Amino acid sequence: MTLTACGIRPTPVLTGAEAPTVSSRSLTIFLVKPEGDGLVRRTREYTGSVDITTAMNLLLAGLTDEEKKLGLTTELPATAGKAVAVLDVIVMPEDVKPPDTKWGLFQVHCTALASRATVAGVAPVQGGLCP
Q: Look up the pTM and report it.
A: 0.75
- pLDDT tens per residue, the chain (131 residues)? 555 555 666 666 656 566 555 566 889 999 999 999 999 999 999 888 888 899 999 999 999 999 999 999 999 988 889 999 888 788 889 888 888 899 999 999 899 888 887 777 776 666 567 87
Comparing C-alpha atoms, which of 12, 69, 72 is closest to residue 42? 72
Torsion of CA 36, 65, 69, 34, to 10 degrees: 0
